[in-house]
Structure formats: structure tokens, C-alpha cells
Chain A
Amino acid sequence: MNFSCNDKISNNQLRAIIIAAILGNAAITLPIYIINISGAAAYISIAIGGAFSALLFYILLRFTDKFFVKSYDDMVYECLGNVFGVVIFLIMLAHVLFFCSFQLSMAADMIKSTMEKNINDVISAIVIVVVSAYIASRGMECLGRVSEIASVLMLIFIAFIFIMSISSMDWKILIPTVYEKQNIIKGAFNVFCYLSVAEYIFILASKTNNTNKAALSVFTSFIIITAFVSFGTALAVSCFGVDESKRKIWAVIQMMNYAEFPGSLVERQEVLMSGFYVFSSFILTGMSVYIASVIISSIFKRKNNIKFVFMACLGILLICLVISKINFDWLYAVYVFNIIMCFIVILSPAVYIIRRKK
């Protein structure tokens, strides 16, 4: 009845989920990664890579939206057959769990270093997963509604900070050198790979009540994310300089300390900013738990239920523990996995379209 109780989300909610889940995480992990590649031109790389990513999803979703009358898993099984379908979903599941666990470990690490030194990172990871499991168990609509509020809060707050910081920006630092210009495209490709791994967007898009407009929602959400992250990176670089920014793990967040607020009640604004990052982690983990449970249910060909949510949570926690305890370049692993997923994301709808036409 009415507009709810049907386990569907609106296109606004789709946009909100993507923004809330990706913006916070991208603002944390992406700048340092890209600044190390393209230096002062990182913000240009992010803008180009993000724009291409938005375009890619727009095109893919425009081509596939009419097939979302069925669910995404139906589409994959019909396209690739049962065996390959299961294989694809297993890869997807591994990627969703791994990506989420990596972001979760980063979040736990950041909470410990900027917010609460007394909280063990394992405890904070468990708390985030438990809260996310609650959201995921309440279904898609709950996730959509929370994201709507979280994304609005995040965008308003971050926009306010950026506006306040513009006056102290050093534009000269942002002019790239010749070497940095040569690396813009390389950086852009990395951004493209980072953002284009969102295979779950297909699952989310298939759950909107108007799949025709899903492409536009995804496009605008990626453009908003790109704009914010690119601007945040520019601010961080102008604030710390290129060399210092390369060493700062949370450059965009740490930049907050140098933003001047008139009559501020809080001494260290970075903690406030990291609070919004915590919100983003909740949404990303909640969404990942939900998507993972949907994938597990489609692998087992059962209706999604609380058992699958529990399994997904357990998987994320275990991988997160491994990531936080074993010393390894996990960012590189994420990067490799992202490229694999990027191809799968592009290829699976393409194969479907070709097979449908035949």
C-alpha cells in the first residue's frame, strides 16, 4: 500500500545511498592515493576520473534499465547461465565483503586515531557492523531513508566547511607542474577504477521503483561525489602543500583544523568531520551487508533473510580482522580487485544485451 512496504527505493534514495556510502570513504582514501600519483593535479584527476565513472554508469544503466523489470540476479542467470552466474556472484560477494572490510578497517583505524583513542579498533568495527546489520535486516527502504538524512547532513556540513575554507586557499600551489600534468590521466584512471567497482549499483538500481530514472540518479550522485572529493583534495593540497599532503593519511579531514570558523564552539573541527565519516561507514557497511545478503540469497536461490545478513556480517568482520592484523599492502589488493570488478561490471550487462538481441 501507499509508497512503502514494497521493499523498493526511490531514485532520490538511490542517489542518497550512493552519496552517503561513497562520499565519506572516497574523501578519506582517495586523495592521498591520487596525490601520490598526480601531485598537485590530483583534483583534476579526480574530476576527470569521476566524470568518466559517472558516464560509464549512466551508459550501462541506460542500456540495461529496461531489463530491471526482473531482478538483477535473474538478469545475470539468464545471461550467463546458472554455473557462470553463481561464479560471478561469488566473485561479487568476495569483492563486496573485501571492499567493505577494507573500508571498515580504515574507519576503525580513523576512529582510534582521531576520535577515541581508548576504543579498540576491533570494538569499533564490531559496533559498526552490528548497527549496520540492524539497518540491513530492516531492508532496503530503511537503508534508503537513513541514507537520505545522512547524505543531506554530510553534504550541508561539508559544503559549509568548504565555503569557509575558500578564503584561505592558496591557488598557486594548485597549478600542476609538467610532470604532474603527465600523470593526470594515470591518476584519472585510478579514480575511474576506484569508483567504477560499484557493481552493487546494479543491484540497487534494480530495486528502484522507477528503473528508467535510475541512470540519471546514479550519474548525478557520482558527479556530486566527484565535485566534493575533487574540491576537498584541492583544499587539502593548498592547505598542506603537495609533499605534506602525500604523508597525511586523512588530508581532507586534517585540513579541517586549519579552516577558520567565526565564533566556533569546537576547538578541533576535524573530529566533527570524522563524525560524518563514521556516518558514511555505517551506510557503506549497512549497504554492503544488505547487498552481500542479497547475493548470498541469490546464490542459494532462497528468499533473503536474517541468516544471510548474519553470514554477511560475520564475513565482513573476519576479513576486517585479517586486514587489521596482517601487515600487507591491502590498498594494492583493493586496487587489483577493483580492476577485475571493473571489467565484470562492464562486461556482464554487455553480454546480456548481446544475448538478448540474438
Chain B
Amino acid sequence: MLRAIGCLCILSGMLGISQVYVAGIRAHYRQLLDGKELLYRLGNEMCYLKLPLPQLLKRLAQTIHAPYSGVLTDLAAELDAYREADVKKLWCEVLQHHKKEFLLSMTEYRTLQEAGSILTHENGQMQEGAVRLYSEQFDRLIEQAAKEMENRLKLCRYLSAAAGIFLILVLI
């Protein structure tokens, strides 16, 4: 009876661990989608609403998911303080400050950093071009992440099950 309970505990424990990993993989994918949404909305609102950047960032921060909301809020505060004239530099600094909250790979994170140049363009046409460019890059990253996600999810589930069985065999 005790052995059966032990087995059950190990299996449910491993299942729990695998769920944590699965949630992490999904959150990573979600962050990529949110990143693309941010680029689109940022570009559109800059082109059509023509609000000054600090106001626009505060407005977007209210409707976008974390960690992007925090990044936008902090960037708006930096801009309000007029501490530095280079917006892209400020964008990179704020991203760096929030880096731990991002689940992105190095390549994805760099793309996000580079996408900050959208904020520096002086007219609508240049911005539209930049938004298109970085959106395409994000599309590729999302496509790649979607392909990998299924495999990673399967791998995560099989590994946790295998690890659970291995532990049961070793311990019992």
C-alpha cells in the first residue's frame, strides 16, 4: 500500500514539474506574440494617433501584458525625466533592467532591443517601414518557436514520465 502511495506521489511530483516547464514554454511563446503585438500597436499609434511618445507609452502600458507593460511604464518615466536624448539607448537600458522577466532567447532578446529603433524614426513612412521589418523578424521567431514548442512540450512530458518511472524503479 505504502509503495503504491509512494509511486503515485513520485508520478504526480514529476507531472507537476513537467507542468511548470510546459507553462514556461507557453509563456515564452506568449511573450513573442506579445512582442509582435506591441510592435504593431506602437507603430500604428505613432502613425495615426500621433501622440507624444511618453503619453503613447503610458497608454499602451495599460493594455499590454507583463513584462512589456513594465518596460513601457519605465520608459515613459525616463522620457518624462528628459535624462537622455537617445530613445533607443533608453529603450535598451529599460529592457536590460527588466531582462530577468523575459523568457526570450538571446536572438529574440536582441531583436527586441533592435526593434527599439521604431521609436527613433521621424516620420510615419519610416516608422511603417521599420514596424514591417521588425514584425517580419518577429514572425520568423514566432514560427520557429511554434515549431519547437510542440517538440519541446512532448520532450518535457516524456522526460518527466521517464524520470518518474526511473525514480520509482530506483527507490522501490
Whether chain B is bound by chain A comes out as: no
